Amino acid sequence: MLTRILTGLVGVPIVVWLLHSGGMLFNAAIFVLAAIGWLEFYNMAKNKGYNVFYFSSGIMTLVLVGSLMYLDDSIYTLYSLPLFLVVTIIAILLEGLHKHCKGHLVENVGLSVMAVLYIGILFFHFGLLRQLPFEPVVIGSFVLEGGECFFWLIMLGTWASDTFAYFVGCAIGKRKLCPNVSPNKSVEGAAAGFIGCLAVMVYLGVKVLDMEIAQAAALGLCVAVFAPLGDLVESILKRSFGVKDSGKIFPGHGGVLDRCDSLLFAIPLGYYVLVFSVLLTKTH
């Protein structure tokens, strides 16, 4: 527990600084996280005898996330995703063809595609969310960029989900939620996490960020549902690969995928809720 607390005390100020800085610095940090996350995925698959392709899957993941440091127009970057996916899938299939004699062709190709989608595409949206061109928000004496504010809102909602679920689950949790995936999670904890996340995000969205209540509720529902599902997905991945943690880069907290599992679902989906809600508002 002490190790976890110390890691948090060091990590939180760094996260605050990077998120507030934005730009090249923030995108470089996302690039590093994605690179480590891909390597963690590679090592987990290797633990079961599978080979996630370095050249096609690894390099293409880094190319995608790295492009955020040079393409400031998030809409333009988003439109380039279909081309990127076509090139990536063909490259993975060709590398699979080259390495077919080593066995596990279908598994290796499937896991290589999954690594790009799960790590590359989802981490890519971290940068898209941060650079959303929304109006700055004044909070006290601080002026925060719009993308930074909504990034914080989704992160705080995710943390509220985890915190409420943990403490209520420990206190009164009796019915197991998914015993074969994550034995410690309870139905009571999941319900508390859902309510806590939704309440926090609606309150902060309306009172602090001046969002419409419907927009704040839609974003809150998205995070309240999908953040814990991201956690469960990463848990079943680790169980399938036969590992306890995805990595050890954060003492007491595990690896990058362990720390970002909920955000990997919440941030990309939250990004689209925000984008589409703004588009709908403009059309009415």
User: Are residues 158 and 165 in contact, defined by beta-carbon separation less than 8 angstroms?
Assistant: no
Rounded Cα gap, residues 125 and 77, in angstroms: 10
Mean predicted confidence (pLDDT) in 108-127: 96
Write down the pTM of the prediction.
0.93
pLDDT band with cut points at 50, 70 and 90 for residue 230: very high
Flag whether pLDDT at 38 surpasses 70. Answer: yes
Judge whether 105 and 70 are in contact, CB under 8 Å. Answer: no
Judged against a pLDDT cut of 60, whether residue 50 lies above it is answered with yes
243 pLDDT tier (thresholds 50, 70, 90): very high
Beta bridge partners of 176: 186
Q: How confident is the model over 134-188, as pLDDT tens digits?
A: 888 887 778 889 899 999 999 999 999 999 999 999 999 889 998 888 888 999 9
Q: pLDDT band for position 46 (50/70/90)?
A: very high
Looking up tokens 């989704």 gives 154
Helix, strand, coil share (%) of the chain residues, nearest 5: 75, 5, 20
For residue range 268-284, list pLDDT tens digits in order. 999 999 998 876 665 55
